[in-house]
Amino acid sequence: MGTWLMASILAAAAVMVVRYNDGLSELDDWARQTDVLLSEKLAQHDAHMTALSAIIRMSPNEPAESVQGLAQSVTAFYPRITDVATIRIEKPDAPVIAYGGQNGPVAAQPEPAAELPILNKPGDTAVRPAANKHSYSIYKLVDAGRLLRLKINAAGLLGIDRIPPEYSVSLFLGEALLFERAANAQSLFVATTQVSANNVGQPLKLSIGRSFSLSELLPPFAIAPLLAIVAAAIWMVERYRHASRERRRQEQRAALLEQETRLAHAGRVNALGEMASGIAHELAQPVAALLAQSQAARRAVVINRPDILEQTLDANVREAKRAGDILGRMRAYISGADARIETVTLEDALTGSIHLIETDLAQRGVILETSLPGSQHEVAIDVISFQQVIHNLIRNAAEAMVGQSEPRIWLTAAFQAGDAIITIRDNGPGMDTTLLDRIFDPFFTTKPDGMGLGLPLCARLVEKMDGTIEARNDAGACFTIRLPVREPA
């Protein structure tokens, strides 16, 4: 989401920059066009001034018809020139003679001498903003005693109607503002440019401003597809990232699985040595039985009792098979053969596990109290793995209680809500509560010579049987295994 927002902002900014640049070049175009137009008009004023002063010079007696004729055509063709007049400078009280009107030349109010420019030699010119602000006057010294004055309406200089309404326009003569039009648009900001009409006698300055509104800089028709493209691009990048993450996760899982397999094998080999005494104990029984039955068979031959001989040989076959089974399980266990899920009663599976550890516990002086369900509920388990789990848990309990008086382990099993629940509890020191959640992590150990592989292996084996294992403190340490129950058919 954050990326999408960032990318959208960047895309919007890019659109704004492009549109802003377009606007700026449009502004430049308008400024250039208006400047050219203005220069042409100012040049026309110069030409009129020249023509008029020539005629005035030839008319020493005013008012003169010839001046009126030319002035009338000038004001008729160029309405922005509102007034053509001559002023007698050597006689400040003499009336100003205004030409160009419909009713011929008329005598007007004299202009205060203080407002007139002082020009030295014939042909010199000057400009002044007029009192009404929207006009300016151009003065030219015609001859020693007379000034020619043209009054120009500034609004007529610009052809303002051509310029689009979103532009603001101001025209200055020096510092005096002659004309101003504000932009009609709501603007986010304004870009302004200034031009001068390049006329030395009429030094006008034009300032044109371009307003930019938000909707102009970010028009929805440009933004919407752009945002859609950005969103699509981000979606594709995210998909690609997601796919790479998924691939990495799969690779990690595969590596982890391989590690677990190796771990399980290492655990089995490790536990083998510790189970050796239990296995020897298991084997001792069938071997002793074989010996006893074989001796009985010999006696049966001596006393010629084929019926007893047959019985003893049958018993030998049974015992030899049992010993063979035990060895077969050992082989399967060491070789790491695939889990072989069997349906067995919980009681049988636990009794087998207890046999394997009994001798070890007896040697350590640990008392094992059992409370088995005594029902015929069955569980679906890999018997070898199950026995290894129980063996590891009981051995850990025994090791935790070394040197303790009256070490005791309780092994209980029960059925509850479709699960078989097996708990192995001891009266040892229990586990450090701050470390409890790390206890199933590989290589976590508090023993100087421990490997920290027993509990992670137990957890993995129980999971493979669709079960769970938990550790908590209950006086000593207490481990609870839950396995799904298979009801008898």
| Smallest separation, CB 459 to ligand ADP (Å) | 9
Which pairing describes strands 367-371 and 408-416: parallel, antiparallel, or unpaired? Answer: parallel
Which residues from 410-429 bind ligand ADP, rule CB under 6 A? 426, 428
Nearer to ligand ADP, 72 or 445 (CB): 445
Among 211, 345, 353, 396, binds ligand ADP (CB under 6 A): 396
Site membership for ligand ADP, residue 191 (CB under 6 A): no
| Smallest separation, CB 479 to ligand ADP (Å) | 7
Among 39, 294, 445, 480, binds ligand ADP (CB under 6 A): 445
Instruction: Name the token pair of 1.
Output: 């989401």
- Asked if residues 469 and 481 have their Cβ atoms less than 8 Å apart, the reply is yes
In sequence order, the 6+-apart residues with CB closer than 8 A to the CB of 97 are: 62, 63, 85, 86, 105, 106, 107, 108
Q: Which residue is nearest to ligand ADP (CB)?
A: 454
Distance CA 408, CA 13 (A): 76
Count how many residues are written for the chain: 489
Site membership for ligand ADP, residue 452 (CB under 6 A): yes
Nearer to ligand ADP, 146 or 425 (CB): 425
| Smallest separation, CB 340 to ligand ADP (Å) | 24
Cα four-point dihedral sign 436, 439, 444, 449: positive
Distance CA 274, CA 270 (A): 7
CB atoms within 10 A of CB 353: 22
Nearer to ligand ADP, 100 or 430 (CB): 430
Among 71, 439, 461, 483, binds ligand ADP (CB under 6 A): 439
Site membership for ligand ADP, residue 454 (CB under 6 A): yes
Distance CA 195, CA 172 (A): 11
Nearer to ligand ADP, 279 or 366 (CB): 366
Site membership for ligand ADP, residue 388 (CB under 6 A): no
Measured CA to CA in angstroms, residue 180 lies from 59, 159, 190, 211, 217 at distances of: 39, 13, 16, 15, 25
Among 455, 465, 481, 485, binds ligand ADP (CB under 6 A): 455
Encoded amino acid at 121, one letter: K
| Cα dihedral 55→56→60→64 (10° resolution) | 80
Local structure of 172: helix, strand or coil = strand
Encoded amino acid at 228, one letter: A
Nearer to ligand ADP, 98 or 455 (CB): 455
CA triple 131-132-137, angle to 5 deg: 60
Q: Which stretch binds ligand ADP (CB under 6 A): 180-188, 223-231, 286-294, 446-454?
A: 446-454
| Smallest separation, CB 435 to ligand ADP (Å) | 7
Site membership for ligand ADP, residue 7 (CB under 6 A): no
Show the binding pattern over residues 306-335: x = contacts ligand ADP (CB under 6 A), - = does not. ------------------------------
Site membership for ligand ADP, residue 404 (CB under 6 A): no
Nearer to ligand ADP, 345 or 392 (CB): 392
Give the binding-site size for ligand ADP (rule: CB under 6 A). 19
| Smallest separation, CB 391 to ligand ADP (Å) | 11
Among 91, 245, 247, 447, binds ligand ADP (CB under 6 A): 447
Phi–psi pair at 127, nearest 5 degrees: -125, 150
Distance CA 188, CA 213 (A): 5
Distance CA 147, CA 86 (A): 6
Site membership for ligand ADP, residue 183 (CB under 6 A): no
Nearer to ligand ADP, 62 or 358 (CB): 358
Among 141, 154, 346, 431, binds ligand ADP (CB under 6 A): 431
DSSP 8-state assignment for residue 197: -
Nearer to ligand ADP, 30 or 444 (CB): 444
| Smallest separation, CB 447 to ligand ADP (Å) | 4
- DSSP string for 340-387: -EEEEEHHHHHHHHHHHHHHHHHHHT-EEEEE---S--EEEEEHHHHH
Phi–psi pair at 453, nearest 5 degrees: -110, -15
| Smallest separation, CB 483 to ligand ADP (Å) | 20
Among 123, 165, 324, 450, binds ligand ADP (CB under 6 A): 450
List interacting residues with ligand ADP (CB under 6 A): 396-397, 400, 426, 428, 430-431, 439, 444-447, 450-455, 477
